[in-house]
Amino acid sequence: MKKLYFDILCGASGDMILSSLIDLGYPLEHLNDSLARLPVEKISITAEKTARNGIQCTFIDPKWEQASQYRHLHQILEIIKSGNFSGSVYRRCEVVLDRLAEAEAAVHGIPKERVHFHEIGAVDTIIDILGVSLGLEYLGIEEITYSVLTDGHGTIKAAHGVMPVPVPATSHMIQGLTLKTLDIETELLTPTGAALLTALGKQVPVMEEGKLLKTGYGCGTKVFENYPNLLRVNLYESDEKEIEGDSVYLIETDMDHISAEVMGHVAGRLFESGALDVSFTPVFMKKGRPAYRLTVMASESDYRKLIDLIIIHTRTLGVRVQRVQRVLAAREKREREFMGMRTGEKVCTYKGYSFSKLEYDALDNLSKSTNVPLIELMERYVKERE
Claim to verify: residue 228 and residue 94 sit in the same structural domain? yes
Instruction: Provide the pLDDT confidence category of residue 80 given band limits of 50, 70 and 90.
Output: very high
Claim to verify: residue 95 and residue 194 sit in the same structural domain? yes
Contact 306, 272 (CB under 8 A): no
Domain that holds residue 157: 2-238
Listed residues 238, 272, 287: the one ending a domain: 238
Claim to verify: residue 337 and residue 250 sit in the same structural domain? no
Claim to verify: residue 186 and residue 64 sit in the same structural domain? yes
Listed residues 327, 354, 372: the one ending a domain: 327
Claim to verify: residue 126 and residue 57 sit in the same structural domain? yes
Instruction: Provide the pLDDT confidence category of residue 365 given band limits of 50, 70 and 90.
Output: confident
Instruction: Provide the pLDDT confidence category of residue 120 given band limits of 50, 70 and 90.
Output: very low
Claim to verify: residue 204 and residue 285 sit in the same structural domain? no
Please count the structural domains in the chain: 3
Burial class for 111, CB neighbours closer than 10 Å (0-12, 13-18, 19+) = exposed
CATH classification of the domain holding 273: 3.30.70.1380
Claim to verify: residue 197 and residue 285 sit in the same structural domain? no
Claim to verify: residue 288 and residue 381 sit in the same structural domain? no
Could you report the per-residue pLDDT of 198-254, keeping only the tens digit for each? Answer: 999 999 989 988 999 999 999 988 889 889 999 999 999 986 554 566 789 999 999
Instruction: Provide the pLDDT confidence category of residue 57 given band limits of 50, 70 and 90.
Output: very high
Q: What value does the mean pLDDT take over residues 84-103? A: 92
Alpha-helical segments (H) within the chain: 14-24, 28-35, 73-81, 87-108, 119-139, 168-173, 191-200, 260-272, 303-314, 360-370, 374-385
Claim to verify: residue 59 and residue 134 sit in the same structural domain? yes
Claim to verify: residue 167 and residue 309 sit in the same structural domain? no
Full-model pTM:
0.64
Mean pLDDT (the chain, rounded):
89
Q: Cα separation of 321 and 307, whole Å? A: 9
Claim to verify: residue 323 and residue 296 sit in the same structural domain? yes
Claim to verify: residue 94 and residue 218 sit in the same structural domain? yes
